[in-house]
Amino acid sequence: MNEKDRSNDKRKDSRKSREELLYHVLVERAMEPFARYKVICSQGEGCDVEFMDINPAYERVMGVKKEDVVGKRFRDVWPNAEDCWMDIIVQTIKTGKSVRHEAWSKDTGRYLEAVAFPLFSDEVAVLFLDRTNWKKAELELKEKERVLLEYRQNLRELATKLSLAEADTRRKIAVRIHDRIGYALIDILNRLRTLGEGNLDELEDIKAAVEGLLEESRNLTFETASPLLYEVGLDAAIEELAEKLLRDNGIDFSFQVSQGNYDVDERICILLYEMTRELLVNVIKHAEASFVDIRVHRTSEKIMIIVEDNGRGFPLNL
């Protein structure tokens, strides 16, 4: 060997020593667990994994000693570990590419993210990142989101129950107005009509007053709860609602009902009726419309009420 060859060998040895020193410095001082493995594959028998090196962070986090690990097979060190931790090492060798995986480790009680990357044709290095606090925070956030959604659902159900209870109360009031006040006024009016003609002017005043009370009781009954909604059905009640609200405010309307056969629960009818009332009131108050198109669309699975008007609508920039 000549002097030039010896010089090249020294440089190679020096470079190798520096690389080994750099590797050990980086691995030893790394704050995260690091392990180096050798993959041993036998034809027809699959692959096994052997520990080549671990750093102090691996010892601390995983709870093992380097002298008890290096040179041993993976399953000898971790007999009850999840398959995924060995699988990513073998997969890295087979694909020649880095593999990332995260999961709970029952042996360590931590949620770990592992990044495996090939070193040589049969060697793999794996860097482990402790994501336990992050995962717990994520699970807590999901639980809070679940609870929030549950609260929202409960609030919606409560709002529906309140609306139905309100509608039921108004219905009872309407029935009382109709049965007691209405019939009483009709009886008074009939009795007045049978009186003599002693004071026709006074009788006419009384009849006019009673007729006014009858009309007012009818209006109050309608505003409180539509009798048609319970006696005839949703379609007739909505048409009556439009007739009363829109016609009295000088707004024309059209009303159409599809021929679907969807059978609507009475509670749903009440809610749809109240929603339609709110829509028509908003049209009267805000839309400055002269015409409203109302459609009750039924299919075999659902019901939909469409209210469209020719009013001014909303600004596009809202």
Asked if residues 287 and 281 have their Cβ atoms less than 8 Å apart, the reply is no
| 8-state DSSP, 131 | -
Q: Which residues contact 186 (CB under 8 A, 6 or more apart)?
A: 214
Asked if residues 251 and 283 have their Cβ atoms less than 8 Å apart, the reply is yes
pTM confidence score? 0.45
Rounded Cα gap, residues 56 and 44, in angstroms: 36
E strand or H helix that includes residue 306: strand 303-309
Q: Which of 93, 85, 138, 141 minimizes the C-alpha distance to 113?
A: 85
What string of pLDDT tens digits covers the 318 residues of the chain?
555 555 555 555 555 555 555 556 566 666 789 999 999 988 767 889 999 999 988 998 888 999 999 999 999 999 999 999 999 999 999 999 999 999 999 988 899 999 999 988 899 999 999 898 888 988 889 999 998 888 888 888 877 777 776 777 667 666 666 666 667 677 777 766 766 555 666 667 767 767 777 776 666 666 555 666 767 788 888 888 888 889 888 899 999 988 777 777 777 787 888 888 888 988 998 888 999 999 998 887 888 899 999 988 766 554
**Cβ atoms within 10 Å, residue 207:** 15
